[in-house]
Amino acid sequence: MQTEEFECAFEPREEKLAVYNHYGSHSGQEELVESPDVPENTIRFQVTYNAAAVKPFLDYAENESAGIYYSYIGDSSDDFKIFMECKDQILADLKDRKISTYRTQTIKEIKILVNPSSVDSIRFVR
**Residue 9 contacts by C-beta under 8 Å, 6 or more apart in sequence?**
39, 41, 42
Under the phi-then-psi rule, with left for phi > 0, alpha for psi from -120 to 50, and beta for the rest, what region is 75?
beta
**Residue 22 φ then ψ, to 5°:** -135, 35
Residue 109 DSSP code: E
pLDDT tens per residue, the chain (126 residues)?
999 999 999 998 889 998 886 555 455 556 788 999 999 999 999 999 988 888 999 988 887 889 888 888 876 566 777 778 788 888 999 999 998 887 777 888 889 999 999 999 998 887
Report pLDDT for 80. Answer: 79
pLDDT value at residue 28: 54
Whole-number pLDDT of residue 101: 82
Domain ranges of the chain: 2-75+105-118
In this predicted structure, what is the pLDDT of residue 52? Answer: 83
